Amino acid sequence: MRATVLVRPKQGILDPQGEAVESALGHLGFRVADARVGKVIDLEVDAADAAEAKAQVLRMCEQLLANPLMESYEVEIVG
Amino acid sequence: MASPQPRIGVVTYPGSQDDRDALWALAALDAEAVPVWHEEERLPDLDAVVLPGGFSYGDYLRCGAIARFSPATAAVREFAAAGGLVLGICNGFQILCEAGLLPGALQRNASLRFTCRDVELRVEREGLPFTSRCARGQRLVIPVKNGEGRYVPPPDLDPRQVVLRYVDNPNGSVDDIAGVCNEAGNVLGLMPHPEHAVDPLLGSDDGALLLASLVDAARERALALA
């Protein structure tokens, strides 16, 4: 099963990378607000079905892929 | 008769950088400095442990996130749980936070720049095994060198766990926090590098106050257990 994990800085956590990106986009003439920079982790998971794969990847997020104090995460099972 | 020289281990992970400086500084302060390899599942007989600065496992994923799974880190966790003294410097602080031995997390500097310079710190808590040679309110000049040193505490951090604050915050750390301890006070993490400030030739020897406090406490522990 193919899984994609989106890890984002939590709301309220200062994201200086997002601020830098927002400022650079401003220099290009784009009017943007609230830019936040996170990361994407793609995985191939050994699981019988999508529900099991998702449960596994959620455990991975809790234990390693995200720091729950700073980051929120979303798991998508691509199939 | 027990040896008056306490044994203090310094863990070397792949990518550790300041392990040798830490070993050198501890030896200069009259401890027996013991190198510990990250693959060691059992610590040698030690009176304290230092997790040094650097970039363990390339800082991949998050700083300290992978080092948390090293056999030596598991041994350090047991050592700390039994009341052992543990000091994490810079990357060592990041590892202790990721391992859950200290509260909070370290994030990219607000400036997005790697910052390497002397900073002034204020001692907020005296009398710990790491600050027994300092007075509350005392100013220490110790260098920082980090890209991800912005400390973010958990919402419920007990203010008594704040041991050191920046006088002029170099990285955007919340509440100017430079160093925190666990509730029991036997584990301390800080971003500045006391091991780089133990000789006036290097600009300051204020770091020796923190490290000599640790050596004192480790010596007392060694004598108590002997």
The whole-number pLDDT of residue B3 equals 56
Task: Tell me the ipTM for this assembly.
Answer: 0.83
Q: How many distinct structural domains can be found in chain A?
A: 1
| 3-class DSSP state of B75 | helix
The whole-number pLDDT of residue B1 equals 44
Portion 40-69 of A in contact with B at CB < 8 A: 64-65, 67, 69
Share above pLDDT 70 across residues of chain A, in percent, rounded to a whole number:
100
Rounded Cα distance between B152 and B171, Å, is 11
Quote the domain boundaries for residue A33: 2-77
Q: Which of A7, A67, A71 to mutate to test the interface with B (most CBs of B within 10 A)?
A: A67
Catalytic one of B63, B90, B134, B181: B90
The whole-number pLDDT of residue B2 equals 47
A59 has pLDDT over 50: yes
- Interface check A17 vs B, CB under 8 A: yes
The whole-number pLDDT of residue A72 equals 96
**Count of other CB atoms within 10 angstroms of residue B130:** 31
For chain B, which domains are there? 7-225 (3.40.50.880)
A45 has pLDDT over 60: yes
CATH number of the domain to which A29 belongs: 3.30.1280.10
Span A6-14, mean pLDDT? Answer: 93
Burial of B101 (0-12, 13-18, 19+ CB in 10 A): buried
The answer to whether B109 contacts A16, with C-beta atoms less than 8 Å apart, is yes
Mean pLDDT by 10 residues, chain B (226 residues): 80 97 97 97 97 95 94 97 97 97 96 95 97 98 97 96 98 97 98 97 95 97 86
Rounded Cα distance between B188 and B211, Å, is 12
Rounded Cα distance between B224 and A75, Å, is 52
Q: Mention every residue, 6+ apart, whose C-beta is less than 8 A from residue B212.
A: B29, B133
